[in-house]
Amino acid sequence: MTRTWGVNAREAGSVSIEVVILAPVLMLFILGIVFGGRYALAQQGVQTAAADAARSASIARSAGEAGDAAASAAASSLANQNLSCASQSVNIDTGAFAAPPGTPGTVSATVTCVVDMSDLAFPGIPGNQTLTSTMTSPLDTYRSRNG
């Protein structure tokens, strides 16, 4: 008589079946966590780039300088964070530069970045994610402005 210690004869292959069923579910869960982390880091990077662009635009002397400074600051911020965009755009609202000194105003910067996430191969997730963030920064109320 052969006796198996601790295992009922009817449950002899159940561990293998559980592993076969649970392994893909566990892998999808781990890939979902990795995708969520990468998405959150990329979104934070775009927000930081928008904040840097708005700040750079707000300390410029004219609307033209503000657009150039904002685009440069956003590109530099994205590069410093190792966030590579398949395409990126920076839109600046410089309408407050036309207001006379003494009038409060703000400059808004909207940064849009298309991030490639195709290397994750997660089911139901598109290869590219478009991330957009808008930030504002106040203009100095009593500084001279050139429209």
- Residue 73 — very low, low, confident or very high, per pLDDT cuts 50/70/90? very high
**Cα(107)–Cα(54) distance, integer angstroms:** 6
Find, among 131, 133, 85, the residue nearest to 110 by Cα.
Answer: 133
11's tokens: 């449950």
**Cα(60)–Cα(70) distance, integer angstroms:** 9
Helix, strand or coil, per DSSP, at residue 36: helix
CB atoms within 10 A of CB 23: 10
Is the whole-model pTM more than 0.85? no
pLDDT in tens, 81-135: 998 888 999 999 988 888 887 888 899 999 999 988 777 666 666 778 899 999 9
